[in-house]
Each structure stands twice: as C-alpha cells, then as structure tokens.
Amino acid sequence: MSIEVRGGVELPARREDITLHTDDGLSLVGELALPEATAPVATLVTLHPLPTAGGFMDSHLLRKAAARLPALAGIGVLRFNSRGTTSPRGTSGGAFGDGIGEQADVRAAVAYARQRRLGPLWLLGWSFGTELALKWGRDQPVDGVILLSPPLHRATQADVAAWRDDPRPVLALIPEFDDFLRPDQARERFAVAPNIEVEAVEGAKHLWVGETYTRIVLSRIVGLLNPAALPLPTVWD
C-alpha cells in the first residue's frame, strides 16, 4: 500500500526519547530520530520558535522534519524543548531565559549530537530559534546553519556581523509575507554578513502553514545536507 507523504504522516525511523544536560545544571527533554537501518548522512539540531508564544519541539516544521527526513533523506533530527518549555514529551528544567540562558541549551544539544557521532551537524533555527543560532551557534562545532523566518529581534546587527567571512554555509529563508522581517528588510539587515545567503520564498508567511511550504523548506534542507536524495518522494510504499 502507498501513502501520500503530507501532513502528520510519520515515516519509519529509529526514535528515542533523550535528555540533554546543560552546564548550568538543567535537564532538557527531547527526541532523536535517525534512519531506520543506517547511520545518518547528517543531523539537524533544531531550535524551536518562541516558547512564550507557543513554540516548542513539536512546532510543525520541526515535527515534520523528524517524521520524514530520516526515511526520505537519511538525515537525523534532534529536537528538544529549551529551558522551561513544555510539550507532550515533557517539560524541560529551568525558566525561559529570553535568549540568554538558552546559550547553555544550544551547547548541550550540540555536545550531545557530537557525543553520539551523528555525522555533520547543522543548526536549524525557526523564528526565536534563529536568534539562538545567530547569537550562540558561531562558536559551536557545527557544519552549517539554516534560519527559518529570522525576526532579528534579539539577534543584533553585531551578532549578524560576527558571521561575516565565516566559511560555513548559512542560509536564511525569508517568507514573502513574514510578520516580522520581509525579504527586502532581510537583505538590508544581513548585508553586514554578505556570505549569509538570503532567499525569499514567494507566498510564504512566518509560520510556513501548508504542505506546499513544508515541502519547500524540507527540500531546501535536503539540498544542503544530502542533495542526492532530491527530489523528495511524495509517496511512500
């Protein structure tokens, strides 16, 4: 039997609940999804949207990445709740740190992925998660960064400029109708680091609602981490 790959479909993977331990003494709940029978060709370390506005490890793009990419592209996906954040997986220790305390959360997630030897590591931040990636990801041993809907609220121009001339690929996907930062504004703000690729996505909004935009985002991710897996299948046997 074949099923269409869309919406909440969850494809086969090795899935395990994990706990991250920060260097300031917190325990963060999460999940690691890996290809069912092989080592991952690369792994996403995901940073979710703003928890005070409903963001968590199950925010839909991150959940769909974990549900599809291990099977479709051999890519591992590590998701976790940042400090003080709750999801069906549980509640992480601590309290919301307004993007400052979460520096330790980023370190803990990357350290865990490295300890598990999950292949090349990429930070994938969405909204508030992009602030964490820009502010705290540069000093982490990751191979690249993907920014979805960066608002550039907490991440300053100095944070962006610090990435100038960094040899690692950084891609910012900017929705045409974003609520906080639209493509023309993004090109101006990111001009201090011209090595960051700014790509507008026609018709998209901040939350990337709709299967069309889910597939655009996941395909761009795979194009960076494992281009041999493109185009992504739309049907699973």
**What whole-number percentage of the chain has pLDDT above 90?**
99
Tokens describing residue 162: 């610090």
Question: Residue 199 and residue 237: Cα distance in Å, rounded?
Answer: 33
Residue 1 confidence (pLDDT) above 90: no
Question: Residue 153 and residue 204: Cα distance in Å, rounded?
Answer: 20
Beta bridge partners of 34: 14
Question: Residue 127 and residue 11: Cα distance in Å, rounded?
Answer: 26
Mean pLDDT for 180-208 is: 98
Cis peptide before 231 (omega within 30 of 0): yes
The predicted structure's pLDDT at residue 35: 98
The predicted structure's pLDDT at residue 140: 98
The predicted structure's pLDDT at residue 203: 98
Question: Residue 147 and residue 65: Cα distance in Å, rounded?
Answer: 14
Is 79:31 a contact under the CB 8 Å cutoff? yes
Mean pLDDT for the chain overall? 98
Provide the sign of the torsion angle of the four alpha carbons 84, 85, 87, 92, taken in this order: negative
Domain boundaries of the chain, sorted by first residue: 3-236
Residue 50 confidence (pLDDT) above 90: yes
Diameter of the chain measured on Cα atoms: 53
The predicted structure's pLDDT at residue 39: 98
The predicted structure's pLDDT at residue 85: 98
Mind listing the pLDDT tens digit for each residue in 108-143? 999 999 999 999 999 999 999 999 999 999 999 999
Provide the residue type at 204 as one letter: A
Residue 23 confidence (pLDDT) above 90: yes
CATH topology of domain 3-236: Rossmann fold (3.40.50)
